[in-house]
Amino acid sequence: MPERPDKKEIRQDLSLKSRILGGTAANLIRLLSCGYRWKVEDPDGILENLPDHPMIWTFWHNRIFVLPGAYRRYLKSRNGAVLTSASKDGEVLAAALAAFGVAAVRGSSSRRGASALLGLTDWIKNGYDVAITPDGPRGPRYKLAPGVIKLAQVTGAAILPVRVNYGSTWTFNSWDKFRFPKPFSKITLILEPLEFIDSELEGEAFESERVRIESILNPHNEID
């Protein structure tokens, strides 16, 4: 397993304001995570037998709040980076993630997209996991952008679809209807089986695979 990124090194390129806001957010996540009632559904036993190859954690943008806490609780032995937007909000998120020892690759499908993809590829080739919200940073909500499929093709890394359900939440009036789980609510973390993408797929076959992975994250239209 590669060496964990140094927190100071991760934070050094972030503004003071972002570091303060991100640190505050990280403390809030830690505090609330202690009170949540966690349940994990892991039919393939991924947590019991973690793979020796990189994974691409894939989950919807509006469930991102609990993922640092879930990482700290269940996957802290894994090292890696998260794709965040190139916006000021993305910088705050990067600072919050740094508090958990997770690096951020700045970019998105709309800004710095190519450089972000190259950055994620480098992390994976060096043995790290990466995490992506495939409907971010601006949606459409619950629509999987093709970048995650392409990344899996280029690197050979397995996609880990992660579904998150909340017992009780507040919903923000944002493009993604961001979910903020209420204190002491139940958090169900569902780790779907790992998905490997054929590197030769293109055209209609590529699109079919994109739709298939999207449907795994949206089972039976249960996502609202």
- Of 140, 157, 24, the closest CA to residue 93 belongs to 24
- The model's pTM: 0.88
Mean pLDDT to the nearest integer, 140-150: 94
- Tell me: pLDDT of 215 over 60: yes
Pairwise pLDDT comparison (109 vs 98), residue with the higher score: 98
Pairwise pLDDT comparison (98 vs 42), residue with the higher score: 42
Pairwise pLDDT comparison (1 vs 19), residue with the higher score: 19
Dist. CA 191–CA 164, nearest whole Å: 9
Give Cβ neighbours of residue 17 (< 8 Å, ≥ 6 apart).
none
pLDDT at position 137: 81
Domain boundaries, the chain: 7-221
- Tell me: pLDDT of 81 over 90: no
Considering only 6-10, 160-164, 181-185, 186-190, which range has the smallest mean pLDDT?
6-10
Mean pLDDT to the nearest integer, 112-124: 76
Token duo for residue 142:
């619950």
Token duo for residue 203:
């055209």
pLDDT at position 59: 95
Q: Which helix (H) or strand (E) holds 40?
A: strand 37-41
> How many C-alpha atoms does 111 have within 13 Å on its Cβ side?
12
Give Cβ neighbours of residue 170 (< 8 Å, ≥ 6 apart).
179, 180, 182
Mean pLDDT to the nearest integer, 31-57: 95
- Of 125, 103, 124, 105, the closest CA to residue 115 belongs to 105
pLDDT at position 113: 56
Mean pLDDT to the nearest integer, 102-123: 71
Average per-residue pLDDT for the chain? 87
β-bridge mates for residue 80, sequence order: 129
pLDDT at position 224: 67
Phi/psi for 19 (5° steps) reads -65, -40
72 neighbors 92 (Cβ within 8 angstroms): no
DSSP alpha helices (H): ranges in the chain?
7-11, 16-35, 67-74, 88-98, 113-125, 147-155, 203-217
pLDDT at position 153: 95
Dist. CA 126–CA 217, nearest whole Å: 27
Considering only 117-126, 144-153, 196-205, which range has the smallest mean pLDDT?
117-126
